[in-house]
Structure 1
Amino acid sequence: MPPGAGRDAGEPGGWALLAALDLPMAVLDLGGVLLRGNPALRRLAGPARGLAEGRPLAAVLDAPSRPLLDQCLAEVARGGQPAPFDAALTVIPGQVAPRLRLHPLSLAPAKILLRVEDISAEAQAQAAAEAEVRFAVIGRVAGGIAHDFNNLLAVIGGAAADALAAPTDAAITEDLRAIAAAADRGARLVRSLLGAARQQVLLPRPIALGAVLTEAAPLLRRLLGPAGALDLVLATEARPVLIDPAQLDQVLLNLAANARDAMPDGGRLRILLDEALLVRPTVIGATTIPPGRWVTLTFQDSGPGIAPEVLARVLEPFVTTRRAQGGTGLGLATVNGIVLQSGGHLAVESPPGEGARFTLFLPRAGQREAAPPPAPAPAQSAPLLLVEDEAPLRRLSERTLARAGHAVVAAEDAEAALDLVEQGLRPGLVVSDVSLPGMDGLALVRALRQQVPGLPALLVSGYAAAALGVDLRAEGIGFLAKPFSPPELLTACQKAAHGTI
């Protein structure tokens, strides 16, 4: 603060000095009424809040901030010097309310000089850090649950499919189909949870979004229903993006379903594909987009929009406004998890009267080094090494593979598998769970390849944290998500053995 400004800020000379400052400043009386407010303060408050001299400052503060202002005023009335405190302005629909730090200074007679500091960026960074902590906790919990739960679902679904292959009466067949369907629903729920927790193994490749959207348009229109309309606005020059195609499908379907739910009586969903060059960090809603060249994909619906109290947390897991209709709060969280894991960002806005707008900022696909050609698959007579620590699933997988003609050698962990190879086993294919006691499946494959160069490999898991961040395709390793059916296991083994992963 300039020397002398606090001493006579309420007088004409002092006020002229403060009015020229670029720092938001105000003079209040002991009732909290604004006597003076400089142009910087009015710019910070914005025209919609109507900050005017003669109006109580509390009128432009949110409800939790008003008692803090009252305590400040009471302290000044007692002759004390109040400490700085944090507050927020009232919420304007479609906007993020600025966070403030108010620095009060007692003036004589019976006035308060208030320096206002905009700490919105600091508060946003703190909120993002707290959200990261919540995501990390969810990720650890989801990972542990998913591994065990997917093992159970793999046994249930696999056993049901195995039993369905044998002749039986109609009633038992119907029960087995119901069991298999329930296992499949459970598997989808676990995949959503892993997506929200950013714990999926992704297999990205360059994707032309324009072609994907054109192909998906009929399905998206059916998803919106007869009362919904779909507009596609596709920039033909948009570069390919690097993303897992299966996860991209889930993103498109989830965002379209979200738009449908926001427009139960019909409406219009507009999908825009474009590119953006950001030269500095850009804040959109509660998301900060780093500088760079991005491909943007925007979903704009014509629904009622998102309430301000929900907008700030709409991407968090288990946050839903449709709990009574069966909403789990995992749809948008899963989309956000997929986008973040793919190196992108998801921004959410809800301008007044314009519905909700979800914009994906996706990294452009660069030139990737070609993966080395796979080594020729060993002769079909070579045994298949199966490594699985869950005994029921190991027995089920072994039976499925043996029925298909494979000579299977099973091991319960990586150490046992390595012992078999040291004793002379030369497998033609290794199929291993990722999460094993001791050495994990990825490390096992790498160790086995030191003894059996070019060994084809297939990793299976519902929780593959050990392989996250690793390009499995570049290493010539196949991946099969748990739970899987017997035919899916056989197909994945065939692809891995012949280098067509």
Structure 2
Amino acid sequence: MDEDGGDGRHHAEDAYERQQRLEVLLHELRTSLTTIRGWAELPLQGLSDDPELMVRALRRIQDEADHMHQAVQQVFPRADTSWVRPLDAEPVDLRDVADEAVADLGLLDPERPIARENSGRPTLVADNRMLRHAIRNLLDNALRHTPAGSPVTVAVRGPVAGSGGRPQVELSVSDQGPGMSPHDIARLTSPRSEDRRIEPGGGLGLSIVRRVVERHGGEVSVHSAPDRGTTVTVTFPTVSVSSGN
């Protein structure tokens, strides 16, 4: 060991990294399993006579199962692969991503009023599966931290002029809950160069959202006040996306 205890720090960092991977894996598996359970219960609710709905349910179950397999592969990769896989970029309509996330959560909290707002044709080049799970985490966080029956609004806009006049698309989730703490806001919106650790517990979903958005060259902004609700907005460039490291 060198004099400054370098080996000890490396071991500690490796242990922390492994713990982070397991925290992310458990969070993603719980999210996918909850979605699978919701869609799988449709026949028990007397809705199996709708063929289109059943096909949609089976596709969602298959997609979530694929995501679970992929999550496990990322956390326990083969020797020649990286934990952070390259983005599988393709044209994505942000409205479709929002609709699917709302449909998923509507199965789990059918009494919750979730409003949808669309403006323009918000298309971007992105990893569809990764983007979908980020938005799902964002909406799930809004539902879990607001009173039962409290309304949530999911709005999609674009293209709009961003910084420097560059076109971008936006998705925002607004709630009427107790608001976010300054600590959570700072962790979600701090610059990329600052601490990027994923935190366990209630902030894990928001940390995953931030990582996905940043990998797509986007940004996260938060407007929140005590007892006046929270609006989290994610913005993405509409042109292209890098492989993302």
Q: TM-score range by the shorter chain?
A: 0.5 to 0.7
- 1:230-274: CA deviation from partner (whole Å, max 9, x where unpaired): 100011x22311110110121121011101111142311101111
In the TM superposition, 1:63-142 aligns within 5 A as 142=17
- Which residue in the other structure is 1:263 paired with? 146
Match status 1:348 vs 2:222: yes
Match status 1:250 vs 2:124: no
In the alignment, structure 2 segments of 5+ residues that lack a partner are 1-11, 26-67, 77-82, 190-195
Matching residue within 291, 294, 300 for 2:168: 294
TM-score by length of 1: 0.31
- Which residue in the other structure is 1:232 paired with? 116
Alpha-carbon distance in structure 2 between the residues aligned to 1:309 and 1:330: 13
TM-score by length of 2: 0.59
- 1:398-452: CA deviation from partner (whole Å, max 9, x where unpaired): xxxxxxxxxxxxxxxxxxxxxxxxxxxxxxxxxxxxxxxxxxxxxxxxxxxxxxx
- 1:152-210: CA deviation from partner (whole Å, max 9, x where unpaired): xxxxxxxxxxxxxxxxxxxxxxxxxxxxxxx969828939xxxxxx9332111110112
Matching residue within 92, 95, 116 for 1:210: 95
Counterpart residue type for residue 255 of structure 1: L
Matching residue within 82, 100, 104 for 1:219: 104
Alpha-carbon distance in structure 1 between the residues aligned to 2:205 and 2:117: 24
SS of the residue corresponding to residue 248 of structure 1 reads helix
CA shift, 1:302, in A, is 1.3
Cα pair 2:180 2:226 within 8 Å, conserved? no
Alpha-carbon distance in structure 1 between the residues aligned to 2:176 and 2:208: 23
In the alignment, structure 1 segments of 5+ residues that lack a partner are 1-136, 151-182, 192-197, 281-290, 321-326, 369-466, 471-501
Q: Cα distance 1:334–1:299, how it changes in 2: closer, same or farther (>3 A)?
A: same
Matching residue within 190, 208, 231 for 1:334: 208
Counterpart residue type for residue 244 of structure 1: D
Q: Cα distance 1:318–1:214, how it changes in 2: closer, same or farther (>3 A)?
A: closer
- Which residue in the other structure is 1:278 paired with? 162
Q: Cα distance 1:329–1:353, how it changes in 2: closer, same or farther (>3 A)?
A: closer
Counterpart residue type for residue 312 of structure 1: A
CA shift, 1:307, in A, is 2.0
Match status 1:361 vs 2:235: yes
Alpha-carbon distance in structure 2 between the residues aligned to 1:221 and 1:253: 11
Cα pair 1:240 1:365 within 8 Å, conserved? no
Cα pair 2:101 2:136 within 8 Å, conserved? no
Sequence identity percentage: 24
Structure number with higher relative contact order (C-alpha < 8 Å, ≥ 6 residues apart): 2
Cα pair 2:154 2:171 within 8 Å, conserved? yes
CA shift, 1:143, in A, is 8.3
Cα pair 2:138 2:206 within 8 Å, conserved? yes
Cα pair 2:20 2:198 within 8 Å, conserved? no
SS of the residue corresponding to residue 267 of structure 1 reads coil
- Which residue in the other structure is 2:49 paired with? none
Cα pair 1:317 1:329 within 8 Å, conserved? no
Matching residue within 287, 310, 313 for 2:184: 310
Q: Cα distance 1:311–1:188, how it changes in 2: closer, same or farther (>3 A)?
A: farther
Alpha-carbon distance in structure 1 between the residues aligned to 2:107 and 2:132: 15
Q: Cα distance 1:328–1:217, how it changes in 2: closer, same or farther (>3 A)?
A: closer
Q: CA RMSD in A?
A: 3.9
Tell me which structure has the larger Cα radius of gyration.
Answer: 1
- 1:254-300: CA deviation from partner (whole Å, max 9, x where unpaired): 011101111142311101111231345xxxxxxxxxx5221010011
Q: Cα distance 1:341–1:141, how it changes in 2: closer, same or farther (>3 A)?
A: farther
Alpha-carbon distance in structure 2 between the residues aligned to 1:208 and 1:262: 28
Counterpart residue type for residue 132 of structure 2: D
Matching residue within 57, 65, 75 for 1:190: 75
Q: Cα distance 1:140–1:349, how it changes in 2: closer, same or farther (>3 A)?
A: farther
